[in-house]
Copies of this chain bind each other. A is one copy, B any other.
Amino acid sequence: MSLSHIVLGLLDEPASGYDIKNKFNRSLVHFWGAELAQIYPTLKKLTAQGLLDYREVPSAKGPARKIYRRTARGDSALLEWLCDPPSTGATRIPYLAQTYFLNHLDDPARTLEFFNGLKQLIAEKLQHLQQANSDWASHYPEFPESLSDEDFYKQMTLENGLAVWTARQAWCDMCRHRIIKRYGLKT
C-alpha cells in the first residue's frame, strides 16, 4: 500500500488532491503513476486514520479546494515507511512478454517492426527524462553538487530513469541488429 505513503510524503506543503495529481505527472510518473480516482479515496482514508487533516479554501476558478496537511501522526508514519528496507516490487513488462513469444509470428519483417515501434516508445520516454534533467541542471550552477538535500534525492530518481531507459535503448538496438543479421533484412 505504497500510494498512501507517497501521498503522505508529497504533503510536505499543504496541497489538494488535484495538486497532488500534478506532482505525480511532473516528477513521479516515471516510477509511480496515480489517477485522481485513486488519489481522492486515499486522501479520505489517510484523513480517517488521523494521518492527514484538511481545510476548505475557495478556489479562484472552480469548486472549493480541500487543502490537506500531514498531522504529527502522519509525520511518524512517513518516517516509519522510510525506515523499511528497500523493495524492488513486482515487475510486469508487457513488451517483454510479447518478445518472449515472438517466434510464433514467424515473420521477421513484422518482428522487426515490433522493435522499431519499441525503439520509438523508448526514445520518447528518454526525451522526457532528459528534458526534466536539463531543466534541473539549468536551475543549479554546480549540478548536481549544489542541489538542496530535498532535491538531491528527488534528482536521483530521475537519474535512475535515465540509466534504466538508456540501457533499454541499447538493448532494443541490439535486438534490432540481431534480427537484421539473423534474417538478412534491410533497415
Interface residues of A (CB under 8 A from B): 2, 5-6, 9, 28, 30-33, 78-79, 81-105, 110, 114-115, 117-118, 121-122, 125, 144-145, 149-150, 152-154, 156-157, 159-160, 163-164, 166-168, 170-171, 174-175, 178, 182
Contact = CB atoms under 8 A, between A and B. Distances in A.
Contacts of A104: 9, 78-79, 82
Q: How many copies does the complex hold?
A: 2
A164 to B, nearest CB: 5
Nearest to A151: B103
A97 B31 contact: yes
Given A152-B103, A168-B164, A88 B82 contact: no
Given A86-B118, A104-B82, A92 B31 contact: yes
